[in-house]
Structures are given as structure tokens and as C-alpha cells.
Structure 1
């Protein structure tokens, strides 16, 4: 030890010369089997030290076995031919190279703080604990047996690396399988790694499914070729831009992201699971998730961009509410809703569905199709016990902020197939006539944030769903609620040859069905009931085939299909067995969608309702203009109502009525002036505003929220 003073600072400088360390690097070559620290093990030509020390270059050749029984150090070490190192203590080297059929065994440790390269040969590590800053595997074959391996840098594989034992730990930083390279695990080993890139061949677990790969930190799984992992544990944020197959289980506290901003990813769940992850991200970027195993599996409840079901057997069950934003491909195996909803975005129209693969609804879940415009066919490949797809197209509708349509199916005959509709309290069984031909399945559609729908629908039933007598008697039947009355509507046709029901002009959400033509809910046999707008009115026509004790028809109108008011009456013929034609003109229609129904009244006062029809009236062509602003309007606000006319200053009568006909406002005002109406005393709802001017009446709806 020496002491040196620099500018009044005393520093202690230690010079340590450990045993076996050389001042000048020397080159050692083995000449026989022996201990590392035995002089006889090494040749003496040009050598001044007894055995290799730190910085010395070492070559172990021929079939020599060099034993490490005490701490040993060297610079670059090359193991050639059939030579081997037996680790019973610790060997520290700067670089390590293996070739030929060389091997490493024992229970000690070998640390290479430089690179570990294997350019060629068939080498093996059968024991000990090996650590290195990197592995470079050329065309060689490296077999890792009952050893521990810790690589803190890149593991680049152009040959074949094979793991044959689950003894010891295997930790990697970046695994890169190059073109022509092979990662081959035939054991139940558990691996810890960061990034994985495969451009060669990846055999993650041989013929077993019990080995696992744990990935932590912000990592990437990439490459041109498929990566198969039995058990993947994600405890960081992992982005997959490769074809990643998980053949057993997925778990972890992290985020698994499929795809990236630049590269799409494919994630295949090809096992029985469970597949769970704290944060699944399958929708941010372009990617596909596929469930492909033969066993029954529960899908991760999340939002998928592209979802594929392609199973050789069994089904995929939803694990919670699930959304598909772009495409749903049904190739093989059913997607079972159970108690959960499947939400399909407007762009996510299902493809490839068939009796071999459809959305199976046997529980409380529904298929929700999002829609934002009319004219878009909403295809839902649904089924209960069998494949029974439906396509519904909204031809008219008023959409709110988040419109969608829910679809479900029930595998039984409709419980109301014999129901007679009588006023607001339906009862009876169609005057004692029951349905004799009907389906054993029906579809239910419900709108969310959609009002005033008019739609067409086509739905297909399985041959086993008709078990009655005469299938040709079937007609489409829509069971919906309008005007406070549950009512059947029969529009369209049934093709009994291909088991397809085509419904025309459905006017309300409800149950879609098919049964025989005993659908007329009146003692009057009503053949048709239709409405058509004209220039200033709406013309209603209906035809009866027969009548029994028919006193008269009341014509009722509604603005919302729920609350109806009587607008006229037409006398019936009483009793008839021949066709009778009736006509009624609504001379004061309101602009917009209008609903009409008939209330048929017998001589004894018994009454029944017809189906409800809808007519869209565009409004009168007039120089008069009734203005309401704002409309809709919030309660407790002021609304401005006025009549614009060519004759300034002439009076008009302004009336505001509730839907049940109660007159709330009746005032005489000057034309071309506005009434500022305080709505603080008005309840939220729909109101009618009438303006009577010079023998003409204008009407508009006022909606108070």
C-alpha cells in the first residue's frame, strides 16, 4: 500500500494482485484432462504462469475435460472438438465460444460478461448456471439441459436451440430467431423474457402445454412467422405484431395489445384457457383475434377490432359484454351469448356464418347492432337450437344520439299466437279460433334511441321448427305494441320451400313470427287497411270480406302510435258475406308521421281494434306558415309561436291542446306577430298547436322535454 498527496488531499491507492492474474495476457491450450488450476493441464510453451488467469486466452481442445474446482478467471475461452468444462465452482470469462461437440456440465457457474458465441457444431449445456450479456448461435445446434441460463442482452438464433429439461431457470432479454433458425422447447420449462422476434421456426412447448413464458416491462412480440406459446403471463405492456398462438392459458396483471400503429397483429387462442388479462387491448390498432381450439372456451370480455371463431369442435362463450368494431367472422363453432350482450358496430357485419357457426342465443343476452342511418341491412346470424338468421332494414326511423337494435330468439311457439286484441286489455283467443299452423321459434327486435320505425325483415327458420300440418298456411306476423294495445300485424309472405319469412312494412319493434292467417282480430274479416297522403289530406281505405253485426267503424289517429283520438266515424253494413269497400278522408292531417287504426263496434257495443298503419304527410302547400321556436323546448322556458301570412294584421285563432284533446290555450292574435308562451305550467310531453285563419287550419306538434 502506498500513500500519495495531491493538493492537500490524501488518497489511499490499493494495488491488488490476485493469485493467477497476469500482467501480460498469455495464451493457454489444454494438453490433457485436468483441473483448471493444475499446471499439467496446460502446455508450457511461451507460458510463464502456472494456469490461466484474468485476461488470458484459453483453448480447450480434443476430448479434454477441464474441471473448475476453485474460482477461475480468463479472457476469451474457446471449447473445441469434444472437449468439455465441468463446473464445480465459478468461472468468469470475457468471451465464450463453443464448437464441435463440446459441452458444459456440473453444478457451478460460468459468467461471460462479453458475448457467448456458437458458430457451428452440436454443443450442449447440461448443468450449472450460465450467464452472458448475449448469445450468438450460428448454424450450430445448442441443447440446454438441466441448467440455468440468464442472458441480459440479445439471443440471436440462426441455428437450433433446444431446451430438454425443466430444471433450472431460463431468463432472456431479447430473443431473436432469424430466418432458418429454430427455437425448440421439448420440456415443461418456464421462461422469462422481454422482446421476442421470430422469423424462423418457433416450437414453444413441444407436445406439452405446461410450459410458460412470462414477459414484464414494455415489450414487443414480432416477426414474420408464427410464435406458439402455451402459457403466456403478461405483467407489463406487450404489443404483438406477429402471429401469436396461445395454446393453453393467458394471464397477468399487465396489458396485452394486439397490433401497432404500423403493423397489424394476429392473436390465436388455441386452447381451453382460461384466457384472462388485466387490460386487453384488441381494438386500438388493426388486428385480428381468433379462437381456434377444439375445446369449449370463454372469450375475453373486451372490444375486438376483428374477431374470428374457427373451432373444430365445441363453442366460444362470452365472458361478459363484448364489442366487435370492424368484422366478425364465423367459420366453425358457435359464439354463445349466455347472459351477456354482443355489440356489433355499424361496420361489423358478420361473415361466413352457417349452421356450423352462428351466434347462439339461449340466455338473457342479445345481439346489439348499432345503426345511424336508414337503408342499411342489419344482418344477424343468430340461432337458438338451430341456425335462424335474420336481416332487418330500417326504411324509416327517427334516430337519437346512440341508436341501435337488439336481436334475440326464442325456441318455442309464440305464447300469444291465439290472442285476441280487445281494447287496452287484450284477452281471449281470436273469438275461439286458435292457430293451428305456426312456428316453434320467434325473433324479438327492440330499438334503442330509435322511434317511429318502418322496416322490412327477412328471417329463416329451420325445418324442425315447423311441426304442424300445412306449412303453406303461414304468413308473417309482427306482434308489437301501438296505442297501448298489443297487436298482430300480417304483412309479407312465407316461402315454405326454403323456410324464409319476408316481412314488409313492419311499423313497430316487437316479436317477428309466422303462423296461419287467422290474424284478423275483428268479427269483421278485414282484407286490407291502407292510407295514402294527398295534396291536403290523408285518404284511408279498407276492405272487408265479411261482416257480422257490424254497427260502425271509428277512425282514430295518433301522433306517436300510443295515444289515439277519434277523428271520424263510418257506418258499417251490419251483416255481409261479400266484399265491402270503405273510405275516410282525414281533411286536417298534421305534418309528419301519423298513425291510424279502426275501432270496429258491434250493435251490442262490443268493440275491437284493427292493426295500426302509418302514413307520412308532408304538409299543406300554403302561403301561411305556422312557426314554433324553439321546438323541441325545455320545460320552464319560453316558446315563440306565430303565424306568418300575406295579409298583415288580420286575426287568427291559436289553440294548444294536449294529446287527449284538452284545450290548454285559446287566443285571438294578429297574424305576423308572435306569442311568447311561458311553459312553466306545462308538463313534458307532446302537444298540438292549431292556427285557424280565414277558413284554413294549420297544425304542428310541440315537444316539451
Structure 2
């Protein structure tokens, strides 16, 4: 639909259970005019399906905004990208109300030249399902405004997704999340990574998929927010933070974990004032005993498998705090009455916080009170019978002259019958490679190795299965192995020359014997070039036959430009100067 600049109403309305299906791109172009320019989907059963991209290309116009509105329980499904592209005129406003649903199976692109010109707003109980990335230029113009019971769902089974950060342009535009659901069933972990730090004001529901965070890119749960539904299939791998701004006792649930395992921690806080203070928890797969700290007389052993880091930002003093640690079989708890929680004192000493445990080999333990934060772990009281073991220290699979070298190590095995190495082409269906006998029960580090003489060509996945005498078993993380065959798997991305004058080349492909080679079909990509005002200047699909792409810069103004490439489920970025 195009408004060439005349003053006519450009409206498309779908209602009364009506439906529209577009087999190609659905494009809305406005080059001027003062009248409304709108797509409205409303009413029970009303829907629109777009088989490729939906594009809003707004260049000029006055008075009336450009509106994409979904009301009631209307539904819009875009099978590929939703592009909100503003270069002039009135604001692009996409709004979901009531129980409306917007499904975008790939990317949502925000393209603008200043703040408050492109906005996606979720009201009431509206739901946005996104299958891959939010893409913003530099600066990060574009608003995501979530209210009430609305929800953003990172929803997919094919792509590794990137959780868009809250920070935007730095001058006004931000992403404001209310409720967020993680629902990515891609086989390899993590399924979702962070573009930066994100703040959630409502509920984070962990349904499926692991969210990888770091100290600089993490989840901040705002006061009165919560995490729910965590499991071994879905947790935060890395640090997670809650903000507290009350003097009332409050317990926050941290659904953190590592290595295919949820290690939930509940932290109860009693602050002396209502000054907002942040508390960060991380489960770390590193033995507490490796710190070599001195043990108190009441403790003779600390965990050989993991510890927990808990920190407090500058804020208020504590009246009191307690921690509840949820332990699992590989924590090695067998003597609950003699289980304790320990923390370090900052001077290389463990402190006995005692605690009350429940259950074996799985259960939980609530510590005694403390007023400062540091490292925490499980401890065995003097004379107790908790071995607190670790089973698997590492598992690796590495290509070596068209074979795959396998190695792993364990410490303090208990009732370990045997190991099985398995491999898969798709990380779903696995086949047997080899069995290796275990050591039964051992208190020393043991090393194992073997070779797969007949690996798959291309991309494959390996895992280690450890089976006890009683038949119970557990798996390691998946390890990816790539053996080249004809094409290549690694993505190489560069922009040259830089600075450039007439032509700039984007190099995109892999390397075979020192030469650039085309990518296999599953690693095709899409390139975008933005100017310094975040206006989209150029875009192109890159198929599997590309090794490099020449971009004619004749019509580019002098200045700085930003190149974004989406390929192999990842974002690649570069900057160049046009002279």
C-alpha cells in the first residue's frame, strides 16, 4: 500500500473474524499526505498472515501517525522480518491492545533517525512472539514499551536468540519489559544470549532454554518482580540480579544454574532502610575446596563440585539475610543432619552458617543468619558423612586429522559403573560410539580418553553419558565438532578497504587452504548498512554462493557507516568511513 503524497486515507481494516494472507512481502509506503495511514486488525478470529516480510517504509507526511494496531484477540503473523523503517514524516506506532498477538518468526528491525519516531507498544494482556533478534542501528533508536500484563516471548526452536538490552539511544529511546517468557527449544545451549543488560518489571517465566548472562550483560529484576517455572531445561547460566527497596522481609528466587542443571537459590533479605539495593547471585561450577580456605573446627569438608557468588551493590545495611540452597544428586548429600552452609569471611576462612536440610540426595538447606555477602557453598560437619563429590570435571571432543579425539576427567566417583560416548547429526537423535568402564568409587582425579575413528562430516554433536550401578545416569553438555567437507562452516566477516571511496567490499564466507570459500546453504546471511543517524541505507540477502559483495558507494555521503550482518544465528558488526 502506497501513499504517494496525496491527502487520502490509507487504511486497511480486518475485523469480524476476517482474514488476509499475503504470499509475498506486505509493504506500506508513505511519501507524504496529512491523512491517516493505518493497518487495523481487531475482533475475535481476525488475522493477517504475511509469508515473507512486513515493511513499513515511511519517508514523509504530516499530522496523522502511521499506525499498526491489533485489538481484542486479533493476530498478525509475519513469517520472516517486521521492518519499521522511518526516514521522515510522522511517527511509526505499532500497538497491541487487549489480548492481541503479534508473531514475528525472524527479526524485528527498528530504523529511525532520532528518538520517539518508531515505537512498539504492548498493552493489557497482549503478547509478542519473536523468533530471532531485535535489530537496532547505532544509536539504538526505537522504543519497546510494555505495560500491564503484556508479555514478550523469545520463542523458537531453530535460532540462537539475543535478548535485547534495555539501554537504547542514550537520549530517550529504551526497551521497557514487563513480563518476559523464555521458550526456545533449540537443542544446543545456551539458547539465548544477552545483547546487554535488561530490566524486567514483572515476571520472567523460564519455560524452555538456557539464558546466558555475564557480569556486564545480565538480567535485572526490578522491585516486586519475580522468576518462575525454572527447571533443568530452562535457567539463567550466569549472574542474575534483584533490586530490593523495602524494609519488609522479602525472599527472591534466583533460578540460576550451570551444565544442564538448575541450582536454585532463594535469598531472604531484611534491610534497615528502603534504599534500593541490588543483590546478585551466580551458581559457579568450580569446587569450593579449590580456594584452599581454612576450615572452622565444626566443618571438615566443603563442596568439591560448585560454589555460589552473592554480592550486594552499594545501598543499605542489612538487619539480616538467609540463603536457601537447593542441592541435587551430584552435590553428594547423603547425611542431611550433618549438612551445613558455609561462607567465606573475605580473609581466606570459611564460616559455618549451620543450617537445616531436607531430603537426600536432592533437597534444600536454609542457612543461619548473616549480614555480609561473599562466596557460599555446602559443607560437611565434622564427623559427618557427606562426600560432596564431583563426578565430571570436563568432557571434550576435538577433530584431529578427520578423527575425533575424546577425553574427560572425574574426581571422587561414587558407584560409577561406566561411561558412554554418543554422537548426533542434529543434537536430537544420538547413536552409540563407545563404552568405557568407570572406576566405581574413587577419591582421586581420574582421566579417560578414546578416539572416534568414524565421525560424521560437517557439523555434529557429542555427549558423555555416565551410568551408576543402580542404572541412574546423567549427561554432559553437548560438544560441537566441525569437520569440513567441500564447503566451510566458520563465518569470516570483514569490510575493506577502510576508509573507502568508490567501492567497499564485504567479505563473507569461510576459509579452505587459505582461500575464501562459499558457505554451505544453512549459513546464508543478510546485510544492512546504516548511516551515523541510524538510517538504513542498504540491505541485501547473501546466499550460500557469496564469498564477497561489492557495495557501490557513489551515492553515499561522506561520513561514518555501520554494517550489520545476520548469519549463522549470530550478529556481526563493523564500521567503515566513506571519504
Give me the TM-score of the superposition, normalised by structure 1. 0.43
Give the 3 Å change call, closer, same or farther, for CA 368–519 of structure 1 in structure 2. Answer: farther
Q: Mind listing any 5+ residue stretches in structure 1 that lack a counterpart? A: 1-129, 134-148, 155-172, 421-428, 521-705
Whether 1:512 and 2:373 are equivalent positions in the alignment is: no
Distance 1:479 1:214 in 2: 56
Match of 1:181 in 2: 18
Give the 3 Å change call, closer, same or farther, for CA 352–323 of structure 1 in structure 2. Answer: same
Q: Is the 8 A contact 2:289 2:304 kept in 1?
A: no
Whether 1:353 and 2:230 are equivalent positions in the alignment is: yes
Q: Is the 8 A contact 1:404 1:450 kept in 2?
A: no
Give the 3 Å change call, closer, same or farther, for CA 296–223 of structure 1 in structure 2. Answer: same
Whether 1:332 and 2:208 are equivalent positions in the alignment is: yes
Q: Is the 8 A contact 1:240 1:266 kept in 2?
A: no
Whether 1:477 and 2:342 are equivalent positions in the alignment is: yes
Whether 1:311 and 2:184 are equivalent positions in the alignment is: yes
1:113-132 to structure 2, matched below 5 A, reads none
Shift, 1:150, TM fit: 11
Match of 2:128 in 1: 267
Q: Give the SS at the match of 2:133.
A: coil
Q: How many residues align?
A: 335
Q: Is the 8 A contact 2:266 2:323 kept in 1?
A: yes
Match of 1:228 in 2: 77
Shift, 1:403, TM fit: 1.6
Give the 3 Å change call, closer, same or farther, for CA 195–463 of structure 1 in structure 2. Answer: farther
Q: Is the 8 A contact 2:223 2:242 kept in 1?
A: no
Distance 1:286 1:437 in 2: 44
Q: Give the SS at the match of 1:373.
A: coil
Q: Give the SS at the match of 2:317.
A: strand
Q: Give the SS at the match of 1:374.
A: coil
Q: Is the 8 A contact 1:453 1:508 kept in 2?
A: no
Q: Give the SS at the match of 2:330.
A: helix
Distance 1:407 1:227 in 2: 39
Q: Is the 8 A contact 1:304 1:325 kept in 2?
A: yes
Pick from 321, 327, 342 the counterpart of residue 455 of structure 1: 321
Distance 1:218 1:203 in 2: 18
Match of 1:297 in 2: 161
Q: Give the SS at the match of 2:276.
A: strand
Distance 1:255 1:495 in 2: 53
Give the 3 Å change call, closer, same or farther, for CA 219–486 of structure 1 in structure 2. Answer: farther
Q: Which piece of structure 1 moves more, 273-282 or 318-327?
A: 273-282
Match of 1:204 in 2: 49
Distance 2:301 2:350 in 1: 19
Distance 1:202 1:509 in 2: 52
Shift, 1:218, TM fit: 4.3
Match of 1:344 in 2: 221
Query: Structure with the greater relative contact order (CA < 8 A, sep ≥ 6): 1 or 2?
Result: 2
Distance 2:178 2:303 in 1: 40
Q: Give the SS at the match of 1:464.
A: helix
Distance 2:296 2:352 in 1: 14
Distance 1:150 1:244 in 2: 29
Distance 1:329 1:469 in 2: 32
Shift, 1:462, TM fit: 2.7
Q: Is the 8 A contact 2:310 2:373 kept in 1?
A: yes
Match of 1:553 in 2: none
Pick from 300, 307, 310 the counterpart of residue 442 of structure 1: 307
Match of 2:476 in 1: none
Match of 1:239 in 2: 94
Distance 2:316 2:365 in 1: 24
Q: Mind listing any 5+ residue stretches in structure 2 that lack a counterpart? A: 31-36, 59-64, 167-175, 385-579
Q: Is the 8 A contact 1:340 1:366 kept in 2?
A: no
Whether 1:491 and 2:333 are equivalent positions in the alignment is: no
Larger radius of gyration: 1
Shift, 1:387, TM fit: 0.3
1:344-423 to structure 2, matched below 5 A, reads 344-361=221-238, 365-385=239-259, 386-395=261-270, 397-399=271-273, 401-415=275-289, 418-420=292-294
Shift, 1:255, TM fit: 2.6
Shift, 1:435, TM fit: 4.8
Distance 1:480 1:460 in 2: 22
Match of 2:502 in 1: none
Shift, 1:417, TM fit: 6.0
RMSD of aligned Cα (Å): 3.4
Give the 3 Å change call, closer, same or farther, for CA 370–283 of structure 1 in structure 2. Answer: farther
Shift, 1:459, TM fit: 1.4
Deviations 1:182-217 (A, max 9, x none): 2111225644474221235434333xxx42321544
Distance 1:151 1:273 in 2: 35
Distance 1:472 1:264 in 2: 47
Give the 3 Å change call, closer, same or farther, for CA 351–452 of structure 1 in structure 2. Answer: closer
